Structure formats: C-alpha cells, structure tokens
Amino acid sequence: MYAMEQLVRERSRSTLQEAERLRDTRRLRALRRATRLEHRAERRMAQARRRAAEVRSALQSARY
C-alpha cells in the first residue's frame, strides 16, 4: 500500500513539473512572438513616417 501511494505521489509530482515546464515554454514562445510583432510594427511605422515625409516634401515642392 505504501509503495503504491509513493508511486502516485511521484507521478503527480512529475506531472506537475512537466506542466510547469510547458507553461514556461509557452510563455517564452508568446514573448518571442510579441517581440517579433513589435519589431515589425516599429519597422512599418518608420516606413510610414519616411513615406509621409516624402509626400510632404513633394507637395511643398509642387507649391513653389
């Protein structure tokens, strides 16, 4: 009886450890994805600013 309880306890502990490891992995994956999306958004924003400056410059040139 004691051996069975010990096996169940060890298996539960092992399952909890595996669940924690998976949680950490998923968090890290989500963080990497968020970072990648953030960088992509920053690049698009910089590109939009450059394009707006080009259009503004072209409009100012056309006025004179």
Which tens digits make up the pLDDT trace of 1-23?
678 888 888 889 999 999 999 99
Q: What is the pTM of this model?
A: 0.65
Which tens digits make up the pLDDT trace of 19-60?
999 999 999 999 999 999 999 999 999 999 999 999 999 999
- Express the helix, strand and coil content of the chain in percent, nearest 5 each: 95, 0, 5
Task: Select from 35, 14, 13, 16 the least CA-distant residue to 24.
Answer: 16
Q: Which two tokens stand for residue 61?
A: 């040139």
